[in-house]
Amino acid sequence: MAEVMRERGSVDLLDFGCGAGHFLDYLRQTDRKVRYRGLDLSARFVDLCRRKYPGVAFDCLDVMQDGAAVPEADYIVMNGVFTERCGIAYETMFGAMTGLLAKMFPYARKGMAFNLMSKHVDWEREDLFHVPYDQISRFVVGQLSRHHVIRADYGLYEYTVYVYKAAA
């Protein structure tokens, strides 16, 4: 996920669906200069993060609510937000995902990253959200940006999509 940030200088990053803040732990182990902000729908996770990381901004927010004060950032990462569908029909999940991505991309000044489960596996699990590359690419190019990268070379049965406002 951190590879969405192309430059090595200081950047603002919004960790959408931050959960327990594990991405912040990872970032603190790197030499990146990141102004981190976490956002989650779960008040329990936000409260946990506020206790674990005093002085770091964490927001509990449903960004799909009318009038939600969505924070802007240079980059938005959505790690694990779309990997499970937990009984939701594929079409419903795809519609919810694309709606959320379309809603959030304008708040990313430079780019956004999100991951999905691959269709290129030995077998699929019904509770996971396996999305074909061509389907997500059609959406990204048609609704977000032509400037995107799909990476599936890191050894998991998923892939990450990096979407940018401008070419590298």
> What was the pLDDT predicted at 63?
96
The total of structural domains in the chain comes to 2
- Compute the distance between CA of residue 61 and CA of residue 41 in angstroms, rounded to an integer: 5
| pTM for this predicted structure | 0.95
> What was the pLDDT predicted at 144?
98
> What was the pLDDT predicted at 8?
82
Domain membership flag for residue 97: yes
Identify the bridge partners of residue 147 per DSSP, sorted by sequence position.
none
Same domain, 92 and 167: yes
Same domain, 24 and 61: yes
> Among the three residues 22, 49, 71, which one is the final residue of a domain in this structure?
71
Question: Within the chain, which residues score under 70 in pLDDT?
Answer: none
**Residue 23 burial (CB count, 10 A):** 21
Parent domain of 19:
11-71
Half-sphere exposure of 4 (CA within 13 A, CB side): 33
- Compute the distance between CA of residue 6 and CA of residue 75 in angstroms, rounded to an integer: 10
Domain membership flag for residue 55: yes
- Compute the distance between CA of residue 128 and CA of residue 88 in angstroms, rounded to an integer: 10
> What was the pLDDT predicted at 119?
94
